[in-house]
Every structure is written in C-alpha cells, then in structure tokens.
Amino acid sequence: MSGVRTQVAIIGAGPAGLLLGQLLHRAGVDAVILEQRTPEYVLSRIRAGVLEQGTVNLLEQAGVGKRLRAEALTHGGVEIAVNHRRRRIALQDLIGKTVTVYGQTEMTRDLMDARKECGATSVYEAESVQLHGIDGTSPSVTYTHDGEQRRLECDFIAGCDGCHGVSRRSIPQEKLTSYERVYPFGWLGVLADVPPAWDELIYVSSERGFALASMRSATRVRCYVQCPLDDHVEQWSDERFWDEFKLRVGPEVAVRMTIGPSIEKSIAPLRSFVAEPLRFGRLYLAGDAAHIVPPTGAKGLNLAASDVFYLYEGLLEFYVERSSRALDEYSTRALHRVWQAVRFSWWMTTLLHHFPNEDAFAARVRAAELDYLFGSPLAQRVLAENYVGLPL
Ligand code: FAD
Ligand code: DHB
C-alpha cells in the first residue's frame, strides 16, 4: 500500500472541503482532499444560490472572489408573497446588509480552479474511503484509487463529505446525539435559460403550496415548487411545472414570465438534522456532514462556510501558536450558529409551506403569523437579520 503524509486530510470536495482546502493552502497548511466522485459530477449538482456576506468574505479570503465580484448579483431585498399579495422585505434598509446571488456550482468551480492552479492535491474518484485512529494522535485515511490501495497519514481529518458521507458514520454511535425533523413534502427545482420576470427572489405561500422564484443571472432562472414526497421528476413535464409555478406565484408575475425548456430538474426532500458534537478525537465534521437544514432559509451552504471558518481558525491556531484552544472550542462555536440557522430554516419552512395534515387551528395561527409579518416592520427586521446571516 503506497502512503503519503499531510497535515489535514479533507474528506469531500463539496463547497465545505474545497473552501477549507483553499484557506489552509493560503495559510501555508498542507491538506489533501479525497472525493469519491468526478469533478464533473460534483459540478453537475444544482443546489443553493444565495450567499451571505460572511460567505462572500470567506471566498475573498480564500482568493476566489474575482469572478464572483464580476458576475454575482447583489440583492437589497427579498419578497414574500401570500396568496398573490406581495411584501418586500427591504434587507438593506432594515438591517444594512445585502445578499449575493451566485450559484453553488459557480462557487465550487472557482474553488476547484484555484486549487488546480496552486497545485494542491485533490484525489477524485477515491473509493472505499475509511478513517482510522481518529481517537488517537496519528489518524489516517485509506482509500482505493486507480485500483490501488493507498494510505494518507495526517494530524487531523476534516469530515466535509455531506450527509451520506463516511466521516460521521466513523464516530461511535453512542458518542453522537442526533436531532431530526422530516417534513412531509419535497422541492421540485427547475433551471432554465430565460430572463427572470422578478428583480428579487420571491418566496411564495399559496393555497396550492409553496413556490420560490429565484435566479442565477439576468438570463437564467431557478424556480421551485413544493411537491409530494413520492413524486418523481418524470411526472413533471416542463409544461406542467410552469403551469403550476404560475398558478402559485400569481397572475401579476405570471404574465411577465418567459418560459423556456428546463436544463435541469430535480426533487429534494426537506429535512432538519443535527449531530452533536461536531468533533470526535482528531475528526472534525463540517457542513452537511454534521447538519442539514431545509432550503427555505437559504442557509445550508452558508452554514457549511461558517463551520469551515471556525475550523480553519482552530487549525491555524494549532499550527501557528501550537495551541489547541480554538480547536477544542470548534464544536461549541459552530453549533451555536448552526442551531440559529436550524431554527430560522424550520420557521421559514413552517410559515410558507402547505402541510398536508395541518388542522384548522394550525392553519389559522400560520395565517395570523403571515399577517403579522406583513404588517410589522419589527417582524420584517427579524426575518431580515436572519436571512442576511447572523454574524460569524
Ligand atoms: P456537499 O455539497 O454534499 O459535499 C460533500 C462532498 O463529499 C460531495 O462532493 C460528495 O461526493 C463527497 N463525498 C460523500 N461521501 C464521500 C466519501 N465516502 N468519500 C469521499 N467523498 C465523499 N442549500 C441551500 O441553501 N439552497 C438550496 O436550494 C439547496 N438545495 C439543495 C438540494 C439538494 C438535493 C441537496 C442535497 C442540498 C441542497 N442544499 C441547498 C444544501 C447545500 O447545497 C448544502 O448545504 C451544501 O452543498 C453543503 O456543502 P458540503 O460541502 O457540506 O456538502
Ligand atoms: C435558491 C435556493 C434556496 O433554497 C433559497 O432559499 C434561495 C435560492 C436558489 O437555488 O436559487
């Protein structure tokens, strides 16, 4: 078995793993990334689209802000629509901050390009990744690549391998506490090369269910509708999708819409999940490997970035000052922000979706809450503060 040594072994080349790799590289800390898929596969996954300012700052710090600065859209507000009545939440006026519309795919591509350029090692198509000795002081990772078994020795392992990865599963079950809420619906998402008929994102609560009008650029839209969990993409022709979307978003927006063929269509289930603590021995979990939020608050990707920031600070303190204080605090610091995002994402999801088994009382309370949000600048400010992202 051929062996290599690095300081930090990063499992997973999603946004969390790639961002951590780039920050560490710029700080002179050596890291190797192991990813089970191909780069093309990783880039083909269409996911999040809204970045908080803290995430943008980290991308700048990682040296990958150039294309984002040139191409991303800055939004000073977001709309909530309830049964075709719309209310703008003026993020900039209410809280003095904006959000950045830039696809997760683009962010991932920028990080991949930067990594290639600096010559740091990433192993794609790493199969049968296994973690060893994580409760000791010299952990290692074994994997198969090109039919050859390899071993990576390291000081630390960063588990950035998403919710189905191997890292969290390598921690003895009795050492983790999990919290979960499964929602009784999914999101059907469509990407299409047509100009958006909206200036800012619209989160729609309608009697037919939730919808979201989003975008990637001035020529590309990303739209979602709430759908039953057992629906399949094949049941949703483009025509059916756009008809349903228009009914939910309402006639005022619908008449201005240009329709085009979908270039991607997928269904994602909605779930809240947290596994605590985020550390076991020399293994640190970050991003979806440790927690999942429903997409309604646009928090998943941003949480992955804030975990990475805290972990990066901890690793840096270890290598520069030989102190493990910040690493020891990683789980507590990250979880504080994680639970705030879990709460906000759960609240947005509950407020805006149609729950199949909702009773009359719950429906009236939900309507009252929406009414309150529409009428209260204070309630709007609370939404705005959370939507733009709580401070790191
Ligand atoms: P991931 O992006 O999942 O990356 C993990 C990487 O690890 C992957 O490349 C995977 O191939 C790799 N990996 C897995 N197992 C192994 C292994 N054993 N060995 C090596 N590598 C491994 N968030 C939003 O804010 N808005 C959205 O609209 C939105 N939509 C989403 C839709 C879907 C279908 C999903 C799954 C998530 C969505 N999210 C959304 C959440 C957001 O995309 C994630 O929070 C974000 O991708 C987290 O980044 P990550 O790097 O932690 O994990
Ligand atoms: C997008 C996805 C989200 O979950 C969200 O809250 C906002 C935007 C998007 O894909 O554009």
- HEC string for 296-312: HHCCHHHHHHHHHHHHH
How far from each other are the two terminal CA atoms of the chain, in whole angstroms?
A: 42
Helix (H, G, I), strand (E, B) or coil at 364: helix
Question: For 353-387, how does the pLDDT look when each residue is reduced to its tens digit (9 = 90+)?
Answer: 999 999 999 999 999 999 999 999 999 999 999 99
Residue 16 Cβ contacting ligand 1 at under 6 Å: yes
Contact 221, 215 (CB under 8 A): yes
For the segment 181-188, the average pLDDT, to the nearest whole number, is: 98
Residue 364: how many CA atoms within 13 Å on its side-chain side? 3
Output the pLDDT for position 268. Answer: 97
Q: What is the pLDDT of residues 26-39, one digit of tens each?
A: 999 999 999 999 99
Q: Is 35 in the pocket of ligand 1 (CB under 6 A)?
A: yes
Answer whether 252's CB lies under 8 Å from 213's CB.
Answer: no
247 Cα–ligand 1 center, Å: 31
Q: How far is the CA of 86 from the centre of ligand 1 (A)?
A: 32
- Please count the other Cβ atoms lying within 10 Å of the Cβ belonging to residue 258: 11
Q: Select which of 25, 291, 299, 353 is catalytic.
A: 299
Name the band, by pLDDT with cuts 50, 70 and 90, for residue 176: very high
Query: Residue 246's pLDDT is what?
Result: 98
Helices (H), 322-376: 325-352, 360-375
Q: Which of 295, 312, 330, 353 is catalytic?
A: 295
Question: Does 203 participate in catalysis according to the annotation?
Answer: yes
> Which pair of tokens denotes residue 109?
């591509």
| Ligand 2: nearest atom to the Cα of 296 | 6
Q: Which atom of ligand 2 is nearest to the CA of 46?
A: 10
| Confidence band, pLDDT 50/70/90 cuts, at residue 78 | very high
Question: How sure is the predictor about 329, in pLDDT bands with cuts at 50, 70 and 90?
Answer: very high
d(CA 263, CA 41): 15
Select from 21, 14, 122, 34 the least CA-distant residue to 63.
Answer: 21
User: Stretch 170-184: mean pLDDT, rounded?
Assistant: 98
The rounded Å distance from CA 20 to ligand 1 centre is: 15
* Residue of 143, 183, 203, 319 with catalytic role: 203
Catalytic residue among 224, 310, 312, 387: 387
- Check if the beta carbon of residue 14 is closer than 8 Å to that of residue 160: yes
The tokens of 32 are what?
């190797």
pLDDT at 237 over 80: yes
CB of 305 within 6 A of ligand 1: the answer is no
Give residue 350's pLDDT.
97
Per-residue confidence (pLDDT) for residue 3, from 0 to 100: 78
Q: Rounded to an integer, what distance in angstroms lies between the CA atom of residue 184 and that of residue 136?
A: 41
Question: Phi then psi for 192, rounded to 5 degrees?
Answer: -145, 145
**Is 297 a pocket residue for ligand 1 (Cβ < 6 Å)?**
no
163-120-33 Cα angle (round to 5): 20
The predicted-structure confidence for 138-150, as pLDDT tens digits, reads as follows 999 999 999 999 9
DSSP class of residue 218 equals T
pLDDT confidence of residue 215: 98
* AA letter at 20: L
Angle between helices 360-375 and 377-387 (to 10 degrees): 90
Q: Output the residue whose Cα is nearest ligand 1's atom 24.
A: 48
**Mean pLDDT (whole number) for 77-88:** 96
Mean pLDDT along residues 230-235: 98
What is the distance in A from the centroid of ligand 1 to the CA of 300?
9
- 372 classed as catalytic: no
Query: Does residue 7 carry a pLDDT above 80?
Result: yes
The three-state secondary structure class of 135 is coil
| pLDDT for residue 1 is more than 90 | no
Pocket of ligand 2 (CB under 6 A): 48-50, 201, 214, 222, 295-296, 298
Q: What percent of the chain has pLDDT over 70?
A: 99
Per-residue b or e along 146-177, where b marks 16 or more CB atoms closer than 10 Å to that residue's CB: eeeebebebbbbbbbbbeebbbbebbeeeebe
Give tens-digit pLDDT for 238-257: 999 999 999 999 999 999 99
- Tell me how far the alpha carbon of residue 50 lies from the centroid of ligand 2, in angstroms: 6
| Residue 188 CA to ligand 2 centre (angstroms) | 12
Smallest-distance ligand from the CA of 216: 2
- Whether residue 2 is predicted with pLDDT greater than 80 in this model: the reply is no
Q: Is 295 a catalytic residue?
A: yes
* Residue to mutate (ligand 1; options 22, 23, 35; most atoms within 8 A of CB): 35
Which amino acid makes up residue 216? R
Interval 303-327 mean pLDDT: 98
Cβ–Cβ < 8 Å for 16, 111: no
Token duo for residue 350: 């509950």
Per-chain mean pLDDT for the chain: 97
* Predicted confidence (pLDDT) per residue in 116-129, tens digit: 999 999 999 999 99
Is the bond into 295 cis (omega within 30 degrees of 0)? no
Q: Residue 339's closest CA among 268, 271, 276?
A: 276
